[in-house]
Amino acid sequence: MNRSKDDRTHVAYLILADAVENVDGKLDMTGGDWDTLFVRDIGRPAAFSFACGVRVPWAEADAQHTLTLSVVGADGRPIAPPHEETFRVGRSRVTGPEAVAHLPFAVRWDLTFPSYGRYVLTATVDARAEDARRVAFSVRPAVYSEPAISEAEMNIIDEELGLLE
């Protein structure tokens, strides 16, 4: 028997963001829905944040589920072990079989990208590949800008303010 996605626990959305926080079941997001991550040093861990929403139908509540997140490079190989979160949603006494619970996740992951280029973030619940959500993104070098004033000019200002000894 094939059930529709709405009858199964599944990832409803996956959004890349500069920062995400789950506050009382609501996601606070800054800089959401980007497709390029600027990394200064490709050999060092870079902060990688995203929001993920999971829908759990009433029939699958009270069961343990696993959200699995993975990042692969352009060659299809994972760049790190998957990130997994196990969760359970209880059934409400007020709702019935039509009810669907929403569970938001705010994830911050420090990843070391092996090179600049294209990557794909994938989210699944209970290893159901047919219900996976994917987001493609690029990792590019961060652009450095010169300060508005030189170091010598900053020292003059510091000296005038009495900040230098």
HSE-up (13 A, CA, CB side) for residue 109: 25
Structure-block tokens of residue 121: 């973030």
Burial class (CB in 10 A: 0-12, 13-18, 19+), 60: buried
**pLDDT tens, residue order, the chain (165 aa):** 455 666 899 999 999 999 999 999 999 999 999 999 999 889 899 998 999 999 999 899 999 999 999 999 999 999 999 999 999 998 877 777 788 999 999 999 999 999 999 999 999 999 999 999 999 999 999 987 666 777 788 888 888 887 766
Q: Answer whether residue 34 is part of any domain.
A: yes
Q: Answer whether residue 146 is part of any domain.
A: yes
Question: pTM of the entire structure?
Answer: 0.81
C-alpha closest to that of 137 among 121, 114, 153, 158: 121
| Three-state SS at 83 | strand
Q: Answer whether residue 77 is part of any domain.
A: yes
User: What gap in Å lies between CA 32 and CA 28, rounded to an integer?
Assistant: 10
Query: Do the Cβ atoms of 71 and 110 come closer than 8 Å?
Result: no
Q: Answer whether residue 165 is part of any domain.
A: no
CA angle 157/158/160 to nearest 5° reads 65
Domain that holds residue 42: 5-160
CATH number at residue 147: 2.60.40.1930
Report how many domains make up the chain. Answer: 1
